[in-house]
Each structure stands twice: as structure tokens, then as C-alpha cells.
């Protein structure tokens, strides 16, 4: 999936809007290595939004946020 940034978007804001949790920045970085150094986006940058497998998404969370299931 692709996301077109809005002026003022940040990685954590995009992660929250797309995944429901601002801590899911790592998969966004992995899918968009050319933009890692951008902290605040301008309008119109195309960001790849990776599909997360629900079984694997906890690997991107800090240990205290992971479930013990």
C-alpha cells in the first residue's frame, strides 16, 4: 500500500494512523530506507506502507508492550 504524506507528517504519526500504534516505526523505516533521515515531511512524498502479519507484528514493539501469549 502507498501513502502520500501531508505537510507536517512525522513517522510516528503515520505509524499511528496506518497501524494504530505509533511504535510501529521500524517496519516503515525498513520499507522506506531513502526517507529515514526525514523527521517532518512535506506534502507529496510517497511512502510505502508494508502489510504486517498479525502474528509477527509484536517483534516491532518494545518488550514491555508485547503480549505474553
Give pLDDT tens digits for 1-28: 999 999 999 999 999 999 888 888 999 9
Q: What pLDDT score does 2 carry?
A: 97
In the predicted structure, residue 58 carries a pLDDT above the cut 90 = no
Task: Return the bridge partners of 68, or none.
Answer: none
In this prediction the pTM is 0.76
Rounded Cα distance between 24 and 65, Å, is 11
Q: Could you tell me the maximum CA-CA distance found in the chain, to the nearest angstrom?
A: 40
| DSSP 3-state of 22 | coil
Task: Give the model's pLDDT for residue 52.
Answer: 81
Q: What residue ranges do the domains of the chain occupy?
A: 2-65
Residue-wise pLDDT for 23-49, tens only, equals 889 999 999 999 999 999 999 999 999
Amino acid at each position: 500500500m502507498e501513502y502520500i504524506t501531508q505537510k507536517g507528517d512525522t513517522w510516528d504519526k503515520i505509524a499511528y494512523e496506518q497501524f494504530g500504534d505509533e511504535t510501529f516505526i521500524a517496519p516503515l523505516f525498513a520499507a522506506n530506507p531513502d526517507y529515514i533521515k526525514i523527521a517532518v515531511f512535506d506534502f507529496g512524498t510517497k511512502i510505502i506502507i508494508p502489510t504486517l502479519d498479525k502474528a509477527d507484528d509484536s517483534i516491532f514493539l518494545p518488550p514491555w508492550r508485547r503480549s505474553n501469549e
